[in-house]
């Protein structure tokens, strides 16, 4: 129960973070938003590491270059997602971001050699069908004037962000063999802060007091969400807490409607339902395989 509550807290923190970024109305460039999100998450993450007693060991790494490349990919995912967030309603962004775990299955087969059997192939196909249901209205809207073109661009950016997020998960799967979770969190935040600062020559702006307040709060919420997310996996198996990721859709719909007057389209809800179903099928299958692997095998004696 504690793991589930921590996961729900993390999901809520990340949706609130997105809402705060969306409240800036696209007036701040995506690279600058990534910097605020990363830099102001630092105090929270350092406090979390100190509270866990991992501040000293959390900074030790056996493979610094792996953190660099994971940072490049993860920072790209954030930048693309934040850019799309300014162009699309929050529920649509949330639904398309669910493509990341589906794509992770595909990339794991491609780059890690993991076997993808018929059941998971079906789940992946179901999830990608859901992505196309959400994506199709946005792409066809591209021919309907400036607003339609903005929405089409936003959908493409969010889907590209989900693709980079899936690639980042592949890096993490390889890194956990030698790196602690605390180390991965710390160096990602450090790397994304430094990399996003390189976008200063490409048009950073001086945000208004209101926008700056939203961005600082978004960074703090991102740090809180990261700490809660990592802590959740200390108290419950991934297969137990992973389905609660999809609670973000309900919260995104509520926040989108109440704060931004966004009403999700029927296609968005239908597509999201397919993607969620596919994700839960994959998680359920992984849990079943894990239970089968953990079940003690009967040892045959000479007497049979």
pLDDT score, position 161: 96
Nearest to 159 by CA among 227, 101, 93, 207: 93
Tell me, yes or no, whether 298 lies in a domain: no
pLDDT at 303: 37
Residue 63 inside a domain? The answer is: yes
202 occurs within a structural domain: yes
3-state secondary structure of 143: helix
In a domain, 297, yes or no: no
Across the chain, what does the average pLDDT equal?
87
Q: Which two tokens stand for residue 123?
A: 């789940």
Instruction: State pLDDT tens for residues 4-51.
Output: 899 899 999 999 999 999 999 999 999 999 999 999 999 998 888 888
The domain total for the chain is 1
Residue 299 located in a structural domain? no
Q: How far apart are CA 285 and CA 171, in angstroms?
A: 22
Q: What dihedral angle (degrees, nearest 10) is formed by the CA atoms of 78, 16, 44, 75? A: 0
Residue 253, domain extent:
2-291
In a domain, 273, yes or no: yes
Is residue 104 a part of any domain in this protein? yes
In a domain, 304, yes or no: no
Angle of helix 181-197 relative to helix 209-235, nearest 10 degrees, comes to 160
pLDDT at position 158: 95
Q: Are residues 66 and 57 in contact, defined by beta-carbon separation less than 8 angstroms?
A: no
Torsion of CA 109, 177, 224, 65, to 10 degrees: -90
Residue with the bigger pLDDT between 147 and 96: it is 96
Q: Which helix (H) or strand (E) holds 271?
A: helix 266-294
* Distances in whole angstroms, Cα of residue 185 to Cα of each of 22, 181, 229: 24, 6, 11
Cα–Cα dist 288/281, whole Å: 10
Q: Please determine, for residue 293, whether its predicted confidence score (pLDDT) is greater than 70.
A: no
Is residue 298 pLDDT above 80, yes or no?
no
pLDDT digits (tens, 9 = 90+) for 99-109: 998 898 888 88
């Amino acid at each position: 129960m504690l793991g589930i509550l921590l996961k729900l807290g993390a999901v809520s923190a990340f949706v609130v973070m997105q809402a705060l970024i969306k409240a800036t109305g696209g007036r701040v460039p995506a690279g600058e938003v990534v910097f605020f999100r990363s830099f102001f998450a630092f105090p929270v993450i350092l406090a979390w590491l100190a509270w866990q007693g991992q501040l000293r060991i959390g900074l030790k790494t056996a493979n610094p270059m792996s953190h660099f490349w994971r940072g490049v990919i993860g920072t790209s995912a954030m930048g693309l997602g934040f850019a799309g967030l300014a162009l699309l309603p929050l529920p649509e962004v949330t639904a398309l971001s669910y493509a990341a775990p589906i794509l992770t299955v595909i990339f794991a087969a491609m780059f890690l050699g993991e076997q993808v059997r018929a059941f998971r192939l079906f789940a992946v196909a179901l999830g990608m069908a859901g992505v196309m249901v959400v994506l199709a209205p946005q792409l066809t809207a591209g021919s309907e004037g400036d607003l339609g073109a903005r929405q089409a661009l936003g959908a493409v950016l969010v889907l590209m962000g989900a693709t980079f997020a899936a690639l980042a998960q592949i890096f993490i799967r390889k890194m956990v063999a030698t790196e602690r979770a605390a180390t991965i969190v710390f160096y990602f935040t450090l790397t994304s802060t430094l990399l996003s600062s390189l976008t200063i020559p490409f048009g950073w702006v001086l945000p208004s007091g209101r926008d700056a307040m939203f961005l600082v709060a978004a960074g703090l919420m991102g740090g809180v969400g990261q700490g809660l997310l990592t802590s959740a996996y200390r108290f419950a198996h991934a297969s137990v807490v992973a389905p609660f990721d999809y609670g973000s859709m309900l919260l995104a719909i509520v926040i989108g409607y109440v704060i931004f007057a966004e009403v999700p389209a029927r296609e968005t809800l239908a597509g999201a339902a397919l993607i969620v179903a596919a994700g839960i099928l994959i998680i359920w299958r992984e849990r079943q395989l894990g239970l089968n692997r953990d079940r003690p095998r009967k040892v045959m004696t000479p007497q049979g």
